[in-house]
Structure 1
Amino acid sequence: MSLAPRRARALLQAMRGRRVLVLGDVMLDQFLWGRVARISPEAPVPVVEISSETFHLGGAANVAGNVRALGGEAVVAGVVGDDAAGARLRRGLAESGIEDALSVADGSRPTTVKTRIIAHHQQVVRADREVAHDVAGPVERALLEKVRAALPTCGAVILSDYQKGVVTARLMKSVLAAARRRGVPVLVDPKVRHFALYRRVAVVTPNQAEAEQATGVRIHGEADLVEAGTRILRRLRCQAALVTRGEQG
């Protein structure tokens, strides 16, 4: 499906100034840049001499950045650790013009950090620092209270689920009920394990692999895609399902 330039411009114009709440698993993406100098004498692995380091918003924080780039006002709600990575992530949000007053610090878990080592324009390895168990107790309650309080000022909610513990059954039920009462649409970037939690959202956007896992349909062509999308609509009773297919659109 193609989008006419005039329609694209109209959609971008309509996005300007719209306040969007992005709720989910925020992360910090770290990139270590260098070159392979030699093979380690300790093990058959390359030794990368690091020359520079960069940080970027990841996960739900990156989604909030995309909302901002499209002209919307983004407010992000998630859980960060009480650590240096969390402080850096929050600085990055502020520098990008993204409000993060709804985020909650949890001293019992680290901020999720994805570290990628890049040498000669190729990713050599990725290391993840994270705790993925569900948030609970005071942290979950604080997050819910902040989200409920912010809903009246938001035109939409994007739920960005990376299965790192923020999207719980209790949170989904509460946020969907509160959004429904106020007529605020909820859009979900899903994970298959949590599929049952997304019933009656406005839009769900699985990638092809997630759509196949959720429906049991192997997508080889247009007919398979339609069948998978139809099954998702029936199962979740959502208004729309958008299956992303990488380079195929």
Structure 2
Amino acid sequence: MAVLKGTLDSGLLPSRPAVTALTQALAEKGDSKNLQALKNMLEDMTKSIGISASLIANAIALAHAKNNDLDAAVEYLEPLLISGAQNPDQAVRSISYLLRRVSEEGLEPALEKFGVMAERLASQFGIYRPVTDLFLQYVSADRVDDARSLIQRCGALVEEKRALVSFMARSASKPGQAKKIETLLELVPEHQDTEIAYHYLMRCYELDGDVASVKAVYEKTKEKNIQLHELSLKSLATFLKKVGEPVPFTEPPETFKFYVEEWRKRRLEAS
């Protein structure tokens, strides 16, 4: 905190990773007082640093949860989520960080309390992002029955397509995550952009080096008549050649970078 104050007093902006690390460390300690001070210090510069309004709000709620003051956490967070839905400029929308931390630390009463809040926001205010975050946390933690039960009570959460796609993209950025996307496809098959979902699923198996599963997913896309994006086909062709397997289609001719850029544009248009 002292270094941060010195940085700001010198007229400099701290880096995003530094502010994120400090925020999360204070949350883990349950230090809501210093988090509030941090929030005040950074009041007008969160956008310049590149941190979201949701990060500090999640951290303060987590600090309250760490101190076993769940009512204070909800009383602080709920109005921010309601006003965030109405004022996009200062939006506190996501509670995924908060839910992930309480889930990973086994703070089940906190997860339940925030879950009740998320469902209340959906049913009373039509605000679905928090309950979508809860659904995706259940998927992450392999709590499939909880996820299925939640979607039965609150089916409209599947309309938060941007959150679902971001979840798949994050899952496909490191090995061992394919089951999350498989679960998502099983739970909400009719609400997915299948081309995007299968792109990320195949990418997961490529990262795992799981040749049989990669080929099985490709066969499934053919059976279901899913038109894969050129980036998926380029990635698949590169993977198959690397493991010494034949490529059962004509490899797209452009560079990988070209198709990555195309994919990025498409995702921006979709969101």
- TM tier relative to shorter chain: 0.3 to 0.5
* Structure with more of its chain in helix, by fraction: 2
Q: Which structure carries more relative contact order (alpha carbon 8 Å, separation 6+)?
A: 1
Q: When the two structures are superposed, what TM-score results if normalisation uses the length of structure 1?
A: 0.37
Compute the TM-score of the two structures, normalised by the length of structure 2: 0.35
Q: Which of the two has higher C-alpha Rg?
A: 2
